[in-house]
Structure 1
Amino acid sequence: MAKSENIYLIGLMGAGKTTIGRLLAKSLKMPFYDSDKIIEDLTGVDIPTIFEFEGEVGFRDREQKALAGLTKLTHVVLATGGGAVIREENRECLKENGFVVYLQCSVDRILERTKRDTQRPLLQTDNPRAKLEQLLIEREPLYLSCADYVVDSGTLQSKAAVKNILQRYRDL
């Protein structure tokens, strides 16, 4: 894989994809994209509003279309939505077009990071812990199936995670 290839970050919501993605992009002097932000910019509304009016399926359709376009770009860092890996087409686009990094993070750490965040529709439930545990059980095999590299973003500071990713990326 050439160094000019894309870096795609996958993982549960709150795993640090946006934070680490921005730092990676800055280090590599590459553009940074966040697929959820792109979807919001294209629709003119936030993710919770899309979920409210179109449901999760409507959002996933928009996400798939956005990822199909974003994975055609070259020399970029992309933070995907936590559920981007649900669809086979998305996993294939990611695997075929870049270096995929799974930011693995514990449910406890994600709960700490997201406890005041009202912009995560899947966590607007009476039991966010149970929801995150369910999502992790469902999605972790999908994350692992398309990841080229796994980093524990729950225990590492963002800068240390970036250092690990850069070292692996440059070794390719």
Structure 2
Amino acid sequence: AGFEFLDTDQFIEEHVGKSIPRIFEEHGEETFRRYEREVVVRLAERENAVIATGGGLLVDAENMDTMKQYAMVFCLWASPESIWRRVKDKSHRPLLQTENPKQRIIDLLEERKPAYGRSDMLINTEYRSARDVANLILGQFRQTTRKAK
């Protein structure tokens, strides 16, 4: 069976009718996080789905609990330097619209570390291709579901 790919940010943008930066600008982070909670509840019970989330979604313990109730949670990790290289040319990152975005990445990773530690598997993406990361997740998923049968 194939997997449906769902992106929580894309889902929010489609349902609210605004981009993530615009939501942050017009309504603030708190409203965006509320939208995330609503989306998690709607998507968590979907079967055969891969749900991509923003880095802050799982910091909310309620979101993490909901996701873990229905799914395996994989957190993708990289060094602040790698993250900066990947996002520096993308202007759609509201939390990085600061004087020192590199330091903000370091601070966010530190703040989020306890939440990321609650995931079923933390995957260092530093030296892995997207395909390698996907294969690692799929292998772990298959191994876990085999054990559960």
Using the TM superposition, give the Cα deviation of residue 86 of structure 1 relative to its aligned residue in structure 2, in angstroms: 2.1
Please, which runs of 5 or more residues in structure 1 have no aligned partner? Answer: 1-27
* Pick aligned residue for 1:121 from 94, 118, 125: 94
List aligned pairs for 1:11-50, cutoff 5 A: 29-50=2-23
Moved more, 150-159 or 29-38: 150-159
Quick check: 1:158 aligned with 2:127? no
TM-score, normalised by the number of residues in structure 2: 0.93
Question: Which residue identity does 1:161 align to in structure 2?
Answer: V
TM-score, normalised by the number of residues in structure 1: 0.81
d(CA) in 2 for partners of 1:136 and 1:90? Answer: 18
* Pick aligned residue for 1:169 from 118, 124, 141: 141
Quick check: 1:132 aligned with 2:132? no
d(CA) in 2 for partners of 1:123 and 1:57? Answer: 16
* Pick aligned residue for 1:86 from 42, 59, 80: 59
List aligned pairs for 1:67-106, cutoff 5 A: 67-106=40-79
d(CA) in 2 for partners of 1:72 and 1:91? Answer: 13
Using the TM superposition, give the Cα deviation of residue 144 of structure 1 relative to its aligned residue in structure 2, in angstroms: 1.0
Aligned residues of 2:76 and 2:125 also touching (Cα < 8 A): yes
| Higher relative contact order, structure no. (Cα contacts within 8 Å, ≥ 6 residues apart) | 1
Please, which runs of 5 or more residues in structure 2 have no aligned partner? Answer: 145-149
Question: Which residue identity does 1:154 align to in structure 2?
Answer: E
d(CA) in 1 for partners of 2:128 and 2:29? Answer: 31
Identity %: 35
Using the TM superposition, give the Cα deviation of residue 118 of structure 1 relative to its aligned residue in structure 2, in angstroms: 0.6
Question: Which residue identity does 1:164 align to in structure 2?
Answer: L
Say which SS state the counterpart of residue 99 (structure 1) adopts: coil
Cross-structure match for 2:147: none
